[in-house]
Structure 1
Amino acid sequence: MTPTARANGDAHGAAGRALPAPRTPSPRDAPALSWGVIAPGRIAARFAEALLAHTAQRVVAVGSRDAARARAFADRFGIPAAYGSYAELLDDPSVDIVYIASPHSGHFDQALRAIETGRHVLLEKAFTRNAREAGQLIEAAHERGVFLMEAMWTRFLPHIDVIRQVLDSGTLGEVRTVIADHGLYAQPDAAHRLYAPELAGGALLDLGIYPLSFASMVLGPFASVTAVGTKTFTGVDGQASIVVTGESGAHGVLNTTLFARTPTTASISGTRARLEIEGHFYGPAAVRLIGRDHELIDRYVPTRRDGGLCYEAAEAARCIAAGQRESELMPLDETLRLMHVLDDIRRDLGVAFPGE
């Protein structure tokens, strides 16, 4: 077959194409909510940029422990209200939903307070420090009747919907191997959040959650998890290599590290064909379908590679408008299950955070 390259245009693809077009709705069509941003750092800035550029969502308030920092963020993005505390933001009646972008160590307290005030919550990954905290948040959200979702933005991107459709179609045959990695070089510094135990630092929660979540999406619940790793000079995990098995017996081979910049690629190999995600698998990316004889069968190319965080916000908005309290694309039971996996890996590596 002659390889083709196309972008996400028509809703369902065309007959004869080996790779389908994504079914992902336009983020701009999602019902508009009024958002409050907690912890205006780098990832929060990317989130605000994506919402302003690609959605109808409104960012109406930002909260920080530093009032000047909140004001600078508000001025940068044209946000009406800036608060010098998270409590003040949660007292603002104009806020429908909060996006929490703080270090992992702050996720539980900040999300719980938001839930208790009746706010919907989009909570950055990794969801919490551990499964105990995750379970308590999920229980609180259920009791209060609010929407709660882990901000695993990858799950909502168009190329991931292409992959889901291919997996459902059986095009790959029986999936046998998933490979994914995420590593970067972080300069050793005890004050850096990735090296700080008190901020729940380390490679696993910040980077390793991506390949683990990807493997879970493909393989389903893990039947077994085996990990080896190396700790940093501060005692957090610096590198981990993980082998998981799915209930079918398929393997996932996963790696994460703070010690080197890795390709951050991913592939899914089956008995008939394989999928390769080009470049950073966790962001907007192209996907190639490769046959058993290594021939390129088809290629999907996204129309846009920037602003990928808009898709998770749009998903939250659609779910809330529909009266749903969680997303089918990133369900809370899977978030909790992966937090248990992260706990087990950290325990095997001898890594614990203060106060656990």
Structure 2
Amino acid sequence: MADAPDTIGWGILATGKIARTFATDLAMVPGARLAAVGSRTIGPARTFADEYGDDRTRAHATYDDLLADPDVDVVYIATPHALHLAGARAAFEAGKHVLCEKPLTLRTSDAEEMVRLARTHDRFLMEAMWMACHPVVRQLRTELTAGRFGTPRQLQAELGFRVDAPLTDRMFAPELGGGALLDMGIYPLTLAHLMLGEAESLSAEAVMADTGVDLDIAIAGRYPGGALATMNASMTSWSSRRAAIATDLGRIELGPEFHHPEQAVFVPRDRGSEPTVLTGTEPVVGVGYGNEIIEVGRCLREGLRESPLVPHAQTLTLLRQMDALRASCGIAYPDDPA
């Protein structure tokens, strides 16, 4: 069956766990199809294409072949963090748009270069911060900004799970951007940015692994209007994965996992008032990756080169924050500026 004229062909670069979750949600999005997948060898690519694509989905044994595929309009880069810039550069040079996994790169200077390349080649670029595209998060941000739930004064968010993997795993490798901050801490930092605005100051304490990455990190931040946030990320313990925002009128609970919540509940301090439950003004597609896929499709059809939900400036701001937090905690990666 022929695709609709405005169907967007997706290419997936790498075939790991997150790429599989993404591909599952991609199949649920009207006007989007998995056109091709690329890996370093043909076996994983073929298996991935057979499982998540259709009879027209191509499997490529190299990333270069994937990027040369004429049916691919936009590439989802799902490699480890340290490989993002090289993958995006090759995609832009091949004329493809890019959705790149978070964090966009290991450090701000690399992200600035990726944004520069996107502009030079006149291509769309978005960090795959799916939480910012989630209907519940978007609705809560709108309602909070409008003052419906009062003035936010305190935010708490934590994301952690035990990483039972050998020290050779990429999560423990500084050269691949391992550690709790970049993989998990980016979520509470982004939530605070979305709900409170750009941080005025941040400080942190971290516990380090023998390999030099952060196992656990606790972050405190001051935000506009005197709002405060406490944010935690962990590779050693099972956190609640919830978030809460205390306002001068009550309390908002976001969960059961705040980075892709089922709902946000505002419980007013006034006992005579009923709680307000937010479930989003549009459906959650799949586990939520579908909503960022929809946003990319909308932007491409409208000729945009960045998304208003995940603008380049926001991505760069969060990376600058993580650069500063790494420096304060002694978390260093190879090729960090001296």
Name the TM-score class by shorter chain.
over 0.9
**Structure 2 residue 326 is matched with structure 1 residue 346:** yes
Report which structure shows greater RCO (CA 8 Å, sep ≥6): 1
Alignment check: 8 A CA contact 1:284 1:304 kept: no
Aligned length, in residue pairs: 327
Note the alpha carbon deviations across 1:301-350, whole angstroms, 9 max, x for none.
46658431000011011011111110111110010011011111111111
Q: Which amino acid is the alignment partner of residue 53 of structure 1?
A: M
Please report how far the alpha carbon of residue 55 of structure 1 lies from its aligned counterpart in structure 2 after TM superposition. 3.1
Note the alpha carbon deviations across 1:224-268, whole angstroms, 9 max, x for none.
011111111211011110011112211111000101010110112
> 1:196 maps to what in 2?
173
> 2:236 maps to what in 1?
259
> 1:36 maps to what in 2?
11
Please report how far the alpha carbon of residue 188 of structure 1 lies from its aligned counterpart in structure 2 after TM superposition. 4.8
Query: d(CA) in 2 for partners of 1:188 and 1:127?
Result: 24
Note the alpha carbon deviations across 1:179-216, whole angstroms, 9 max, x for none.
11110100252121111122111011111110000001
The alignment partner of 1:222 has SS state of coil
Alignment check: 8 A CA contact 1:157 1:283 kept: yes
Q: Which amino acid is the alignment partner of residue 297 of structure 1?
A: P
> 2:40 maps to what in 1?
65
Please report how far the alpha carbon of residue 67 of structure 1 lies from its aligned counterpart in structure 2 after TM superposition. 1.6
Alignment check: 8 A CA contact 1:149 1:330 kept: yes
Would the alpha carbon gap of residues 320 and 297 (structure 1) be closer, same or farther in structure 2, given more than 3 Å must change? same
Alignment check: 8 A CA contact 2:285 2:291 kept: no
Alignment check: 8 A CA contact 2:284 2:291 kept: no
- Consecutive unaligned residues in structure 1, runs of 5 or more: 1-28
215, 220, 229: which is aligned to 1:238? 215
Percent of aligned pairs sharing the same letter = 36
Query: d(CA) in 1 for partners of 2:279 and 2:314?
Result: 28
Q: Which amino acid is the alignment partner of residue 234 of structure 2?
A: T
The alignment partner of 2:111 has SS state of helix
9, 19, 23: which is aligned to 1:48? 23
**Structure 2 residue 147 is matched with structure 1 residue 167:** no
> 1:149 maps to what in 2?
126
Note the alpha carbon deviations across 1:60-86, whole angstroms, 9 max, x for none.
000111221111101111352111111
Alignment check: 8 A CA contact 1:171 1:272 kept: no
The alignment partner of 1:209 has SS state of helix
> 2:267 maps to what in 1?
290
The alignment partner of 1:44 has SS state of helix
Q: Which amino acid is the alignment partner of residue 276 of structure 2?
A: D
Query: d(CA) in 2 for partners of 1:297 and 1:176?
Result: 19
**Structure 2 residue 307 is matched with structure 1 residue 323:** no
76, 83, 86: which is aligned to 2:51? 76
The alignment partner of 2:277 has SS state of strand
Q: Which amino acid is the alignment partner of residue 124 of structure 2?
A: F
The alignment partner of 1:217 has SS state of helix
Query: d(CA) in 2 for partners of 1:149 and 1:156?
Result: 11
Alignment check: 8 A CA contact 1:53 1:307 kept: no
Query: d(CA) in 2 for partners of 1:282 and 1:301?
Result: 14
Alignment check: 8 A CA contact 2:28 2:286 kept: no
Using the TM superposition, name which of 159-168 and 256-265 deviates more.
Answer: 159-168
Alignment check: 8 A CA contact 1:158 1:284 kept: no
**Structure 2 residue 70 is matched with structure 1 residue 90:** no
Query: d(CA) in 2 for partners of 1:213 and 1:65?
Result: 32
> 1:355 maps to what in 2?
335
Please report how far the alpha carbon of residue 355 of structure 1 lies from its aligned counterpart in structure 2 after TM superposition. 2.8
Alignment check: 8 A CA contact 2:202 2:219 kept: yes
> 1:124 maps to what in 2?
101
Note the alpha carbon deviations across 1:265-318, whole angstroms, 9 max, x for none.
011211112211121011141111111257752223466584310000110110
Alignment check: 8 A CA contact 1:285 1:305 kept: no
Alignment check: 8 A CA contact 1:172 1:269 kept: no
The alignment partner of 2:331 has SS state of coil
- Consecutive unaligned residues in structure 2, runs of 5 or more: none
> 1:103 maps to what in 2?
80
